[in-house]
Amino acid sequence: MLNISFESKLPQTEKSIFSKMSAIANEYKAINLSQGFPNFDPDFTLIELVHKYMKAGKNQYAPMAGTPELLQAIKLKIKAHRGLEIHEDQLCITAGATQAIYTAISAVVKPGDEVICIDPAYDSYKPAIITNGGQPISYGLEAPSFKIDWDKFEALMNAKTKLLILNNPHNPLGICYSKEDLTRLGQLAEKYDCLVISDEVYEHLVFDDQKHISALEIPSLKDRSFVTYSFGKTFHITGWKMGYCIASPLLMEEFKKIHQFTVFSVNTPAQLAIAEYLGMNSWKTLPAFFQQKRDLLMQYLDQSPFQVKASAGTYFQLVDYSAISQQVDTEFAMELIKSIGVATIPVSVFYDQAPKQQLLRICFAKTDELLHQAGERMISLNN
C-alpha cells in the first residue's frame, strides 16, 4: 500500500452530473439533451482555416496574451457589436472561459476571502474559489421570477467580500440581466470595494431582438470586472477550448501573471483561424440560428405537460414538471430517461441549497432532427 498522506483540496468533488447523466443516457440509448454542447459540426470554413494555418507552419507558441491577429479581431468585433473601444492591454486569450474564470479567481482571491456566487451557478466557480483558499457564499434564486433581491444580496456582503460572480445570460435559467440589475451590482461592488467576474459566454445567444448588456457597458463595473467569453459557445467548437478575458489594465496585469505560469499561451493555429473567421462577421447570425432552435423546441413543449417560459438567452430551456410529478428533480430526470428516453439536467445540482422547485434544464444546441424526436417524446407524456 502507498504510504502517502495529503489532504484533498476538493474533498467534496465527485464525478460531475453531466458525465453521470450522459453515461445513463448512453446506457438507455436516450436522446441526450443534458450536456451543454452542440451535436453538430462548426462551419467547415473555420475547420479549413485551422488546416491552412497548420500547413503554413503556424505551430509554435503564440505570444502570451494572444496573437496580434486575434487581439485585433476581438477589438474590432467589440467595436462593431457594442461600440466599445478595448485596448490590447485589456485582453488575454485563454483555453476556454473555464480557464479565464479560474485564472481571474486565482489572481485575486486569497485565503479567507469571501466570494458571492448566484445559485444556480455554473459548476466551475466554487471549486476554483475553494482551491484558492476562498469561501464561496451562495445567494439562491427562486422560481418563478428568479429575480435578485438586492437588499438580501447586500446582506451577504461584508469587509471580507472580495469578489462577486455573475453569469449573464444565465445558464441554466435562460435569463438576461437588465441594466438596472447590473447597475445595482456595480453600486454594491463599489460600496464594498470588491471585484466582479461577469461570465458572458452566451453573449451572442439572446433572443426576441433583445440586446445583451455587458459589464463592460456599465461605468461602475467596467474597471472592476473580469469579463469572460468562450469561442466554444460562439462558434460550436467547445472541444477546442478557446476563450478570452477582458479586464481593466490593472486587473489584466494580475491576470496575466497567473496565466503566464499556468497556461502561458493558447493554441496558435486555432487563434489565427478564429481571428480570420471573426473578420467574416460570423457571429452576427447566431441569435437567429439559436432562436429557430428554441422556437422549434417550444412548439413541442407547449403541447406537452411541462410548464415553460421561453428562454431569453443561452442555449438552455428550463421546464417545470410539477404538473407531471412531485418527485425531486434528480429522481424525475432519471425517470425521464427510462420512460421516454430523454436526458436532461436536474436544476438542483447547480445549487448549494436548492429551494423546493421542480425544474429540469434542456439543451437545445442540437440538430433540428434530434429536437423533433425529443419533442415527440415529450408530447407523449400526455398519454
What span, in angstroms and rounded, lies between the C-alpha atoms of 312 and 197? 21
The beta strand positions in the chain, using DSSP E, are 31-32, 91-94, 114-119, 135-140, 161-167, 195-199, 225-230, 243-246, 316-320, 342-343, 345-346, 359-363
Choice from 90, 98, 103, 234 touching ligand PLP (CB under 6 A): 98
- Minimum Å distance from CB 94 to ligand PLP? 8
**DSSP, res 344:** -
Max distance between CA atoms of the chain, in angstroms, equals 62
Specify the stretch interacting with ligand PLP by CB under 6 A; choose among 3-11, 92-100, 279-287, 351-359: 92-100
Question: Exposed, middle or buried, 9 (CB in 10 Å: 0-12/13-18/19+)?
Answer: exposed
Q: Which of residues 168-207 bind ligand PLP (CB under 6 A)?
A: 171, 199, 201
In the complex, residue closest to ligand PLP by CB? 96
Is residue 290 close enough to count as binding ligand PLP by CB under 6 A? no
Q: Which of 36, 42, 66, 136 binds ligand PLP (CB under 6 A)?
A: 36
**226 lies in the binding site for ligand PLP (CB under 6 A):** no
Separate counts of helices (H) and strands (E) for the chain: 14, 12
Please tell me whether residue 38 binds ligand PLP under the rule CB under 6 A.
no
Binding test (CB under 6 A) with ligand PLP, winner from 32, 168, 230, 311: 230
User: E-strand spans in 202-358?
Assistant: 225-230, 243-246, 316-320, 342-343, 345-346
Please select the residue that binds ligand PLP; options are 42, 243, 313, 346, rule is CB under 6 A: 243
Closest CA to 318 of 82, 111, 99, 120: 120
Among residues 134, 174, 232, 375, the one that binds ligand PLP under rule CB under 6 A: 232
Retrieve residue 308's grid coordinates: 415553460
CA end-to-end distance (rounded Å), the chain: 56
Q: Give the range of 93-101, 136-144, 158-166, 336-344 binding ligand PLP by CB under 6 A.
A: 93-101
Q: Does 315 bind ligand PLP (CB under 6 A)?
A: no
| Count of positions on this chain that bind ligand PLP (CB under 6 A) | 13
Provide, rounded to whole angstroms, the least separation between the CB of residue 117 and ligand PLP: 11
Residue with cell 445570460: 169
- Are the C-beta atoms of residues 205 and 169 closer than 8 Å to each other? yes
Binding string, residues 120-139; x marks residues near ligand PLP by CB under 6 A: --x-----------------
Site residues for ligand PLP per CB under 6 A? 36, 96-98, 122, 167, 171, 199, 201, 230, 232, 238, 243
